[in-house]
Amino acid sequence: MEIQGKNAIVVGGASGMALASVKELMSKGAGAAILDLPTSNGEAVAKELGITFHPCNVMDAEETEKALNDAYDALGSVHIAINTAGGGIAKKTLGKEGPHDLESFRGVVELNLIGTFNLNRLQAELMSRNDIEQEGDERGVIINTASIAAFEGQIGQVAYTAAKAGIAGMSLTMARDLGRYGIRVVTIAPSLFATGLTAGIPDEAERSLTQHAAYPKRMGRPEEYALLARGIVENNMLNGTTIRLDGGQRFTPKL
């Protein structure tokens, strides 16, 4: 898909990899709208970029639907959706305090997996409204964010791993569901990236977490995620898959 003249809804866009993606797409001529938590920097970031901000918590389905519809109304159409809102907890299947509680497990699945699916089903419907010139033309592309923990979760990441593996797992099925509308679905699975989410990780832990990368042995940069997101948008053959963005990194069982 050519980016020039298209519109993007970017969820989690107030910070990190999503914000870098907003900037990358705008530099190529796209319009954009940001969805993020009401407590985020979204308002200020959007003002600075001259775009609109639509506050919502992706765990609240009704609020999210309203924010998506408001963003759609502000843009007039949507062709690109990038979703990064998510996060995890540190808790083992069985720990010193006993078995993993179900409530926090459900919470992580609710935020990452159900939150992403809710966004995707609504984003797909908005994209399905796009006019095409002929049968087979593209209407949209959805980019979701998993983690390499989807494939090799570390000790204490069971809820996060389950949720992110769900995101990776539904990519092909959703791509198949949406193929008839000309909508693609691709997931990015980053290793450790220097964003708001990882800002508190001590240097020692960062070294330990990146030492098993092939090259480069460092945290990824938000701009590197944005570059891949742009490549996914531009390359129509990328669909129904999960792309690792990790410098050849494989998480070991422990830090």
Query: Which token pair is 103?
Result: 């409530």
The most distant pair of C-alpha atoms in the chain lies apart, rounded to whole Å, by: 61
CB of 33 to ligand NAD, least distance (A): 14
Contact 227, 24 (CB under 8 A): yes
Q: Among 3, 10, 15, 232, which residue sits at the site for ligand NAD (rule: CB under 6 A)?
A: 15
Q: Among 77, 128, 154, 198, which residue sits at the site for ligand NAD (rule: CB under 6 A)?
A: 198
Q: Among 130, 193, 228, 238, which residue sits at the site for ligand NAD (rule: CB under 6 A)?
A: 193
Ordered DSSP codes for 124-150: HHHHHT---SSTT---EEEEEE--THH
Residue 195: closest CA among 15, 10, 14, 43: 15
CB of 196 to ligand NAD, least distance (A): 3
Instruction: Please give the Cα distance from 37 to 125 (Å, whole number).
Output: 23
Q: From its phi and psi, is residue 188 left (phi > 0), alpha (psi between -120 and 50) or beta?
A: beta
Residue 72 falls in the annotated catalytic set: no
Of all residues in the shown chain, the one whose CB is closest to ligand NAD is: 16
Among 22-30, 101-109, 151-159, 193-201, the segment contacting ligand NAD (CB under 6 A): 193-201
Residue nearer to ligand NAD on the CB measure, 14 or 71 = 14
* CB proximity list for 178: less than 8 A, separation 6 or greater: 124, 142, 184, 185
Residue 156 as a binder of ligand NAD (CB under 6 A): the answer is no
Pairing of strands 98-99, 94-95: antiparallel
| Cβ neighbours, 10 Å, residue 159 | 25
What is the footprint of ligand NAD within residues 34-63 (CB under 6 A)?
36-37, 40, 57-59
What is the footprint of ligand NAD within residues 92-151 (CB under 6 A)?
111, 145, 147
CB of 37 to ligand NAD, least distance (A): 4
Instruction: Please give the Cα distance from 237 to 247 (Å, whole number).
Output: 23
Catalytic residue among 160, 181, 215, 225: 160
Tell me the site size for ligand NAD, rule CB under 6 A. 26
CB of 67 to ligand NAD, least distance (A): 9
Among 11-19, 25-33, 46-54, 229-237, the segment contacting ligand NAD (CB under 6 A): 11-19
What is the footprint of ligand NAD within residues 67-96 (CB under 6 A)?
84-87
Instruction: Give Rg (Cα) of the chain.
Output: 18
CB of 4 to ligand NAD, least distance (A): 25
CA distances to 147, 210, 244, 246 from 214, rounded to whole Å, are 17, 9, 13, 9
Q: Give the active site residues.
A: 160
Q: Which residues bind ligand NAD (CB under 6 A)?
A: 12, 14-18, 36-37, 40, 57-59, 84-87, 111, 145, 147, 190, 192-193, 195-198
